Each structure stands twice: as structure tokens, then as C-alpha cells.
């Protein structure tokens, strides 16, 4: 189309490349009477693009080979892949790996060759002068580049040997194992002489380094496998001779573990059963009369208000009562009674409310009506536990300061009664530790800060393996409950054993050593979470409970 601009590339015989652009020349009336041509030499840009493309391909090849070496311990697979990739990438006719024997004779161990050229796989070469002339050079990492065997100054015997292999040009790179010459990575060009590029030499050099790593890796694996076979044989003999003893020990350990688990379950069941009976008794004996009292107080307030209004009406219409009424009103301090009686009813109402709250807390603490997992408010469970322990936190008892740093938590699906038992065990231990610590402090020591228990809650988002209780590569959330005190702390040798069954530091009769063991079982086995004890002697103790959402 003579009226259309065009653009294309023109390659000359001397390999120069030009960008050719032409546009039509139009007359005033729109007729095309010629074209303008412009040519720009882009040879250098094309060469640069080709080099960069080749470099990217080389780096990709090296990366793939490196990955293959990391993924497999099969040396034969690595060697065969290497020669195939070298032949394809360099566009040569043959790629081989030549391996040396201890006497520096050798064999072509792997090969990739084009169909039109003969295979020299398994060919053995006996070169008596190699170890004197060529071995030291290759052992130092030397590379041999031959562009034409007839113009490289080679001995006639080498030329004849290469002619027998149909080789016209070759490139040889050593494969080293420390200071030993393991073999050669060789590229053959058979059809004509070839000028080997620097990038080709560099590629073979880098591949030879990777092959050295693969060979060393395979050797170490084989050595390890041999050691493992020997060790397995020895262990098999040992196992055979001690089979009866091991079997008996295994059965005994299994029976002991089962006994401990059964005992823990029995203790926990008995404890929850006793607590359930207590709650049932309290609910039956207290809740009904308290409800009756609380419900009638409001009526009593109305009745009292009506009676007092009636008395006021009498005072308005009969301001001068008889002497006997005046004397009795004075004796009972009628004006004080009128002011105080509504307050008395109000305090009774508050007392009844308090009793109802305590009963409600006991019921919620045990959660006897929730044997299955349900979504509950963790903060409510903590508050119910604190309500039950309130008598131990008052100034008249331990005088412990309570600090709450609650985060915003969604309902958590859990066994609420069991989780409340965990909070109870941890808080009880914290109160015991603070009471004992305060008793042990002598009068001549500087007065320390007030005993404090800090309760914190938060949601933590985990990604990959950040959680201390998981190693799954995914995103998830957990609720974290921290209960910390500023007590004496726990020595490291004791801290490592606090979740063991029957381990306790309390005097006989004050501790069974099962509270934290049961807590660990509840959190880890029942809820799939984790519980940690963080402590340093003299700096307090913190328990961290993690419950996955």
C-alpha cells in the first residue's frame, strides 16, 4: 500500500542489522508520488539483546541444575541431565563427562550426542603421559579450549584420537573434589571448527562447580547410608537380643501412662462432680428463697411508701395528735424512721442482688449444663472465677491488687467449665505464691510493691510458623490469656517440671501436684492449644494460655 508507513528490520550479509522506516510523500491533492526511507544501525542493540537473552538462559539453566542437585541424591540422574542440557544450550554435537581412575586412566561415563554422530559412551582411554603434562594443569582448575584440533598445536596422537571420536573442536573443564581430579566436563563440536564464546566457557565452569557439589553430596550420602546400614545391623542384633525386655518395658510404660491418665480423669471427674453437687445444693437451698425475698422487696417498698404517705396525710389533717401518739412517735424517733426505712429496704435489695450474683457465678463457673463445646465469653469465665476467689483477694486476707487488661475477644468455642478450672488452678497458685512470699519477707528488708496479679487477654494473628504451638504454614487466630504475678518466681529446674503429674513444691496436705497437670491436659489435649510458664527467680511468674479460634 503506497500510502501506508512501514517499518521492518534488514539484516546484511556482514551480520549488521538496520531498522528501516519508510513513509509516503503525498502531493497537495493527496496523490503519492514517492517515499522517504530512513535507516538506523541497531546492530549493537541487537547484539546486546542477544547477549542478555543468552545470559538469562544460562542463569536459568544454572538455577535449574542447582535446584535439581538439591532435590535429588541420584548422581547418575544429575550427570545425565547436565550433559543433555549442555549439548542443547551450547548447540554442540556431543557433551560427555569423563571420569578418572586412581591411575588417571579413565572412562566416558555419561554422554549426550546428536544422532548423526557416533556414541563414545564407555570408551576407555589409556594416556600414559597425561598425569605428567595435563593432570597438574587441570588439578589447578585450568580450562582447555580447542577451536580447531588441526591448529591447536596438539600432539599427533591426540589429533588421531579426536579424529576417531569425530571431534573438530572441544572445550574441557575439570571437575574437582577438593584437590583431587575427579573428571572432565567436555563439549565436542564435530562438524566444523568452532570459536567458543566466553559465556560458553563460563557456563561449563559454573556447571563443573555444581557437579562437584553434587558428587560430594552423593559421596556423603553413600557414606552415611553405609554407616546407617552398619548401625542398623548392629541395632537389629541388639533389638533381637533384648526384644523381651523392651516389650515388657513398653507394656509397663503404657500401663503406667494409662493409669496416670485414668487417675487424672477420675480426679477431675470427682472434682467436677463435687462442684456440681455444691452448685446444685446452693441453687436449691439459696436461689429460691433469695428470689422470693428479692421479688417481695419491691412490694414492701411500695407498701412502705403508701403507709408513710398515709401518716403524712394524718399529720396534715390532724396536726395535734393525742399525747399518747406524740409520746410514742418521739420514743421511736419517727422522723429518723421515715428517712431510714426506705434506705434499709434499698440495702436489703442490694444484699439480695449480691447473693444472686454469687449463685450465678458458681453456676457459670462449673458450666454443668454445657458438657459440649460452646461459644462462650472468656472474660465472663475469668470474672466468675475471680468472684469465687474474692475472699482470698480482700485486704483482710492477702490484700492482693488485681489488674485487668482485657482486649476485645469474640466468643470462643471451648469446654467452658474445664477452662474455668484452668483459670482457678493458675489463680490459686498465684495467690498461694504471693501469700508465702509476703510471709517470708523479713522486717529488715526494704518494703516491696503491693502484691499484684495482672490478667491480660488479646487476639493474636499468626502466619506460617510464628505460633509456639504450631508449625503449619497458614494464617490463623488464637486467643491469648496471660496471668502474671510479682511473686518470687520459679527456679528453672522446677519450672521445667511444673506440668508433670504429682509434682508439687507445696507442703504435704496443701497440694496434690495435679492442678497444673490437669490444666495442661485440658488446654493441649481438649482444646488443641498450648500453655506456657514464663518465670525468672525474683521477678514473678506468668502463665500464657493459648486457645485457637
3-state secondary structure 379-426: HHHHHHHHHHCHHHHCCCCCCCEEEEECCCCCCEEECHHHHHHHHHHH
| Among 64, 104, 351, CA closest to 203 | 64
pTM over 0.75: no
Rg, Å, the chain Cα set: 46
Task: Please report, rounded to a whole number, the percentage of residues in the chain having pLDDT higher than 70.
Answer: 82
Cα distance between residue 519 and residue 427, in whole Å: 12
| Under 8 Å between Cβ of 516 and 425 | yes
Q: Tell me: the pLDDT tens digits for 422-448?
A: 998 899 889 888 888 888 775 556 566
| pLDDT above 60 for 199 | yes
Nearest to 378 by CA among 412, 424, 333: 412
For residues 131 and 536, give the distance between their C-alpha atoms in angstroms, rounded to a whole number: 67
429 HSE (CA, 13 A, CB side): 28
For residues 41 and 448, give the distance between their C-alpha atoms in angstroms, rounded to a whole number. Answer: 87
Distance CA 399, CA 439 (A): 13
Work out the mean pLDDT of the chain and round it to a whole number. 80
As given in the structure block, the three cell numbers for residue 236 are: 537389629
pLDDT at 466 over 50: no
Instruction: Give the DSSP letter of residue 447.
Output: P
Residue 545 buriedness (CB in 10 A; 0-12 / 13-18 / 19+): buried
pLDDT value, residue 66? 66
> pLDDT grade, residue 264 (50/70/90)?
low
pLDDT greater than 70 at residue 364: no
**pLDDT beyond 80 at 506:** no
Q: How far is CA 510 from CA 186, 283, 308, 432, 448, in A?
A: 81, 29, 57, 10, 26
- For the CA atoms of 31, 36, 42, 46, the dihedral, rounded to the nearest 10 degrees, stands at 20
Q: Which of 10-14, 132-136, 266-270, 356-360 has the lowest mean pLDDT?
A: 266-270
Check: CB of residue 360 under 8 Å from CB of residue 369.
no
Q: Are 89 and 199 in contact (CB under 8 A)?
A: no
Split at pLDDT 50, 70, 90, the class of 170 is: very high
The yes-or-no verdict on residue 273 having pLDDT over 70 is no
Measure the CA–CA gap between 264 and 425, rounded to whole angstroms: 14
Whether 229 shows a pLDDT value over 80: the answer reads: yes
Contact 396, 524 (CB under 8 A): no
34-39: average pLDDT: 83
> What was the pLDDT predicted at 201?
87
472 — pLDDT class (breaks 50, 70, 90) = very low
For 495, list phi and psi in degrees, rounded to 5: -60, -35
| pLDDT top residue among 88 and 364 | 88
Query: Which pLDDT score is estimated for 369?
Result: 47
Amino acid at each position: 500500500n503506497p500510502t501506508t508507513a512501514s517499518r521492518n528490520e534488514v539484516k546484511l550479509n556482514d551480520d549488521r542489522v538496520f531498522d528501516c522506516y519508510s513513509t509516503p510523500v503525498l502531493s497537495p491533492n493527496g496523490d503519492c508520488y514517492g517515499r522517504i526511507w530512513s535507516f538506523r544501525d541497531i546492530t549493537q542493540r541487537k547484539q546486546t539483546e542477544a547477549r542478555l537473552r543468552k545470559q538469562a538462559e544460562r542463569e536459568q539453566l544454572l538455577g535449574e541444575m542447582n535446584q535439581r542437585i538439591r532435590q535429588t541424591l541420584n548422581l547418575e540422574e544429575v550427570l545425565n541431565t547436565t550433559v543433555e542440557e549442555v549439548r542443547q544450550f551450547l548447540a554442540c554435537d556431543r557433551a560427555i563427562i569423563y571420569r578418572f581412575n586412581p591411575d588417571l586412566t579413565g572412562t566416558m561415563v555419561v554422554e549426550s550426542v546428536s544422532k548423526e554422530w557416533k556414541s563414545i559412551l564407555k570408551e576407555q582411554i589409556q594416556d600414559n603421559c597425561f598425569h605428567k603434562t595435563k593432570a597438574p594443569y587441570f588439578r589447578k582448575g585450568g580450562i582447555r579450549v580447542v577451536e580447531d584440533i588441526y591448529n591447536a598445536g596438539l600432539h599427533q596422537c591426540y589429533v588421531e584420537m579426536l579424529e576417531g571420536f569425530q571431534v573438530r573442536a572441544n572445550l574441557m573443564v575439570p571437575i574437582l573434589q577438593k584437590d583431587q581430579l575427579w573428571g572432565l566436563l567436555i563439549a565436542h563440536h564435530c562438524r566444523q571448527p568452532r570459536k567458543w564464546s566466553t559465556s560458553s566457557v563460563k557456563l561449563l565452569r559454573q556447571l563443573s562447580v555444581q557437579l562437584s557439589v553434587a558428587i560430594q553430596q552423593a559421596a556423603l550420602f553413600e557414606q552415611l547410608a553405609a554407616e546407617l546400614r552398619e548401625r542398623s545391623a548392629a541395632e537389629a542384633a541388639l533389638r533381637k537380643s533384648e526384644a523381651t525386655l523392651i516389650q515388657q518395658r513398653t507394656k509397663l510404660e503404657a500401663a503406667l501412662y494409662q493409669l496416670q491418665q485414668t487417675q487424672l480423669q477420675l480426679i477431675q471427674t470427682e472434682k467436677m462432680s463435687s462442684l456440681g453437687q455444691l452448685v446444685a445444693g446452693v441453687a436449691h437451698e439459696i436461689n429460691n428463697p433469695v428470689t422470693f425475698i428479692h421479688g417481695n422487696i419491691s412490694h414492701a417498698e411500695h407498701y412502705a411508701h403508701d403507709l408513710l404517705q398515709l401518716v403524712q396525710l394524718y399529720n396534715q389533717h390532724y396536726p395535734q395528735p393525742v399525747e399518747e401518739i406524740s409520746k410514742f412517735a418521739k420514743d421511736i424517733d419517727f422522723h429518723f424512721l421515715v428517712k431510714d426505712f426506705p434506705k434499709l429496704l434499698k440495702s436489703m435489695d442490694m444484699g439480695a442482688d449480691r447473693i444472686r450474683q454469687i449463685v450465678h457465678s458458681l453456676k457459670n463457673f462449673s458450666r454443668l449444663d454445657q458438657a459440649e463445646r460452646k461459644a462462650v465469653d472468656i472474660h465472663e469465665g475469668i470474672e466468675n472465677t475471680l468472684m469465687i476467689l474474692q475472699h482470698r483477694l480482700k485486704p483482710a486476707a492477702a490484700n492482693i491488687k488485681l489488674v485487668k487488661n482485657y482486649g476485645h475477644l469474640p466468643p470462643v468455642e471451648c469446654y467452658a467449665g474445664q477452662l474455668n478450672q484452668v483459670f482457678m488452678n493458675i489463680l490459686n497458685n498465684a495467690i498461694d505464691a504471693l501469700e508465702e512470699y509476703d510471709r517470708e519477707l523479713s522486717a529488715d528488708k526494704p518494703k516491696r510493691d503491693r502484691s499484684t496479679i495482672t490478667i491480660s487477654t488479646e487476639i493474636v494473628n499468626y502466619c506460617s510458623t510464628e505460633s509456639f504451638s504450631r508449625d503449619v504454614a497458614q494464617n490463623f487466630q488464637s486467643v491469648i490469656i496471660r496471668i502474671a504475678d510479682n511473686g518470687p518466681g520459679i527456679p528453672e529446674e522446677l519450672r521445667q517440671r511444673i506440668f508433670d503429674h504429682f509434682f508439687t513444691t507445696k507442703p504435704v496436705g496443701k497440694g496434690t501436684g495435679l492442678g497444673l497437670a490437669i490444666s495442661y491436659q485440658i488446654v493441649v489435649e481438649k482444646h488443641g492449644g498450648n500453655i506456657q510458664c514464663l518465670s525468672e527467680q525474683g521477678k514473678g511468674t506468668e502463665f500464657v494460655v493459648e486457645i485457637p479460634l
